[in-house]
Structure 1
Amino acid sequence: MTNRQSSVLESVPSSPAQLLAAARSAPTPAALVGDTPVLWVGEPFTAAGRGFWAKLEGHNPGGIKDRTALYMVRAARERGQLLPGARIVESTSGTLGLGLALAGVAFGHPVSVVTDPGMEPQVAGLLRAYGAEVHTVSEPHPVGGWQEARRERVAQLLADLPDAWCPDQYHNPDNVAAYAPLARELVAQLGRIDTLVVSVGTGGHSAGIGRVLRSFFPALRVVGVDTCASTIFGQPAGTRLMRGLGSSIHPSNVAYDLFDEVHWVAAPEAVWAARALARTRYATGGWSVGAVALVARWVARTSPAEERIAAVFPDGPHRYVGTVFDDDWCRGHRLLDQVPAEDPQEIARSAEAAVSRWTRCTTVEPPAPAADEGVRGLAGVAR
């Protein structure tokens, strides 16, 4: 018998049960959430001898927000805030809506989501296929943009629907607590983490992952990734093409004290990184993934070779086939052929200048609240 024949025979299972030993099975769709893989992202996307580990949350049924949707719904049911069979109503740009549709199926609740014209048709179609109602606002709020317009429509629906409940992802602390398992998965998978690179939108997964990891690794460096024209870290509000990160309001879940630095990334830079990832690593995603990958690539190049860097990729590429990965759409928005600089520009404080390209700031402070912002949380609201 040749060595090759011996090797082949050794790899053949001795019993049918062994064929399923590594397969994953689940009694409910909710049980498919979690235990997502990590992937080494190295050259040619990164510099030679450098790289980072990407947590691929696109391996969840709908994306990273499956975790928080299930957690928030379960917690509200346990507290009696969400009654059996009551409707769930929430604002979303897409990923949380998919998670809430999953939670609605898992726990037996009808779901209504409020979105805006920027939601991709594929996502809206999926939400309807999963049984969710989709309400689309037609005009942005003059101060809070599309987010505030969506939230106002949510408030209207809550007033009209008896017993309806809103998780209010922007201000609900359960949105933070939901990500502790993800952080523990990273610890088990990587053993040691020196730097976390994470996008910031509602503030939920950045705070939830970062706080738990820092309890394991007190010297952890946390790098937040935002988008230009987002108000989260004190930049002036503006029109934002990128979805899934950034905000036109100030979510109370953002843990400002957690971050060592923040980077703002522009849409063309995120598109370049998402497409480069696809070509070189066959693992990519949309706006958040592109922005996070660009920053993690720089962190890897500028850090010692032994530094262990974890980056969170919130979703996969499928919903972005008609946007980030569509040449005609990108040309129409002037997003192609704009290779990012090797290094970000630097500002000392967020209020120093309005940024329009990849920019880094190592002084992270909470922004002053807008005069009309007040307390607008809808968490736990039922009508």
Structure 2
Amino acid sequence: MENTHVKTRAAIAGAPGNPSPADLVGNTPVLWVPELWTGGERGFWAKLEGYNPGGIKDRPALHMIEQARLRGELKPGRAVIESTSGTLGLGLALAGVVYHHPVILVSDPGMEPLIHRLLRAYGAQVETVTTPHPTGGWQQARRRRVHELLAEHPGAYCPDQYGNPDNVSAYAGLAQELLDQLDRLDILVCSVGTGGHSAGVFRALCRRWPALRLVGVDTVGSTIFGQPARPRLMRGLGSSIHPRNVAYGAFSEVHWVAPGEAVWGCRRLATGRYATGGWSVGAVALVASWLARSEPAGTQIGAIFPDGPERYFDTIYNDAYCAEHGLLEAKPEPEPDEITHPGEAEVVRWTRCTNVVDPAGVFA
């Protein structure tokens, strides 16, 4: 499929007609994955976003910067400043190279050393906050530091991945790729962090497949769908704030997954299909596999795998780390727990709820 943004990017980056690193983003493959418990005939299609240079968030990073430049909100040479746990940071570092902007990223001690070093190698400046916000956790602490840095750098631009509608519209290309690759989807399974890719992909796919159902995957300890905020081991999904880009009304159900269950999913994927990734990938694969077993035969299920395994060499794929955190013996039960409302109970293992609410409106 033609990348519809390539010519625009080349032109506004000052190199019309020349190949750009941005050309490497998109056109990622899909892979058939048999369900994880038995490896039987039922399964799901996985969209392997780890084939992008930095992962799925290369797409919104490039798009948000492109659109900000076109609107005049980001002037040539001005700094881009944003909060990140890692993947968006990689995408923004790419955007900085493509569009010639300095990039300043604010993270926290949970960022993997590999990602921190890569970001610096790619030319980004990385700041690390040292104390979580008392109610908003590390994310709110990072966002506060972003606001301080914006005041220190006149003309700097913050993409604000949590509330920027460009973060949603950036995924129209991913949706078009799925439309070109698959004949039909009945269910789409997405991890939820900022809410961008679940909202953007689902919105675009529904124009072709209006009966499509969206299933969200969150982590225990995340507040996105109304659970209390707790310290979280998993990165890349979940939140201790309520991102405005989450399309609550689009979800037919939500599943919370615990870290050990996600590790099991990642390692089963690696053994069975030689295609795996990080926390979000393991959690999404777990839920998509259960749906493959539970839904009527012939149901077509698609799952978005946001990244690959490389950055998790010292966590998910490190036996010592997993043993230290009690993650090696955490094979999930074949069925999730069920709650009727997100406020009914605090979940500690894989749990499903078909009553999806906006906690900012319901629990505030």
Deviation at 1:226, TM superposition (A): 0.4
In the other structure, the counterpart of 1:147 is 139
1:288-367 to 2 correspondences below 5 Å: 288-367=280-359
Letter aligned with residue 239 of structure 1? P
TM-score by length of 1: 0.89
Aligned pair partner of 1:242 in 234, 237, 249: 234
Summarize the Cα distance change of 1:165–1:44 in structure 2 as closer, same or farther, 3 Å threshold.
Answer: closer
1:368 Cα deviation (Å)? 2.9
TM-score (norm 2): 0.93
Residue matched to 2:125: 133
Identify which of 276, 281, 286 aligns with 2:273: 281
Higher-Rg member (1/2):
1
Return closer, same or farther for 1:43/1:210 CA change in 2, 3 Å cut-off. Answer: closer
1:101 to 62, 77, 93: 93
Q: Does 1:177 align with 2:169?
A: yes
The secondary structure found in structure 1 opposite 2:45 is strand
**Letter matched to residue 49 of structure 1:** E
For residue 193 of structure 1, what is the aligned residue in structure 2? Answer: 185
Aligned to 2:251: 259
* Displacement after TM superposition at 1:278 (Å): 0.6
- Local SS of the residue matching 2:255: strand
Structure 1: which 5+ residue stretches go unaligned? 1-25, 374-383
Partner SS, residue 166 of structure 1: coil
| Cα separation, 2, equivalents of 1:249 and 1:278 | 32
In the alignment, is the contact (CA less than 8 A) between 1:275 and 1:284 conserved in 2? yes
Alpha-carbon distance, 1:159 to partner: 0.6
Q: Distance in 1 between matches of 2:38 and 2:105?
A: 38
Q: Determine which of 197, 208, 228 is the counterpart of 2:200.
A: 208
Partner residue in 1 for 2:9 = none
Equivalent residue number for residue 79 of structure 2:
87
Partners of 1:45 and 1:280 within 8 A in 2 = no
- Quote how far apart the aligned CAs of 1:332 are: 1.1
Question: 5+ unaligned residues in a row in structure 2: which ranges?
Answer: 1-17
Query: Where do residues 151-166 of structure 1 align in structure 2 (5 Å cutoff)?
Result: 151-166=143-158
Residue aligning to 1:226: 218
Structure 1: distance between partners of 2:354 and 2:19: 46
Aligned length: 347
Checking the alignment, whether the CA contact within 8 Å between 2:218 and 2:256 is kept in structure 1 is yes
Question: Structure 1, residues 191-248: CA drift from partner, whole Å, max 9, x if none?
Answer: 2111100000000000000111112111111100000010000111111111100000
Partner of 2:29 in structure 1?
37
Against the structure 1 CA distance between its residues 175 and 43, is the aligned structure 2 distance closer, same or farther, given a 3 Å change threshold?
closer
> Could you tell me which amino acid in structure 1 is paired with residue 236 of structure 2?
G
Task: Give the whole-Å Cα distance in 2 for the aligned partners of 1:316 and 1:330.
Answer: 18
